[in-house]
Amino acid sequence: MELQTLQLPVDYREVKQSITRIWKDFQPKLAVHVGVDTSAKAIFLEQCGKNHGYQDGDLRGFRPEGGVCLPGGPEVIMSRINMKKVCKQIAIKDVAVAFSGDAGRYVCDYTYYLSLHHGNGHAALIHVPPLSHWFPASLLGKALQVILQEMLEASGKAQAQSQDYRELSRTDSTQREPVGECLLQRKINVQSYV
């Protein structure tokens, strides 16, 4: 597997274009977004992205029209990765990793929602504290490596379960079109955005 990283600006308009292009051009198995939460004292694994409530301006003062990521989109999109399970599987010395069901309504959550939409739920958002003497870059790197590995394993299991369901659906004439079929065609690389 190949890991590619891109840095996205704190800019709603640029993020919207970048996320669309990433999913179209790269078709990643999993897109992992990493954002800094200046008030955090732990690493938070976010379960879902929310569509409404984006009232704060980005670094250029821009706000999404109507405070919405995707007009007409669902209110909440969940990641196919069970973040609670991932949290339980992770043990990193000197680092607290916690589950979160609300990523806030700023550019990180906006990015996450759009990525979940384009990737049919195969995205993740990790909120990290700012670097400091108690949380140096070396510790962040180690923590992200462990978390990404666990997320990849969880994502692989979710895809395998979807594949099993798809195959079962093909043999069972009472089943309608399987849910999430298009996500099963994703074949390449992991994307990580820092």
Residues designated catalytic: 46, 108, 127
Q: What is the CB neighbour count within 10 angstroms for residue 42?
A: 15
Give the per-residue SS3 of the chain. CCEEEECCCCCHHHHHHHHHHHHHHCCEEEEEEEEECCCCCCEEEECEEECECCCCCCCCCCCCHHHECCCCCCCEEECCCCHHHHHHHCCECCECEEEECCCCCCHHHHHHHHHHHHCCCCEEEEEECCCCCCCCHHHHHHHHHHHHHHHHHHHHHHHHHHHHHHHHHHHCCCCCCCCCHHHHHCCEEEEEEC
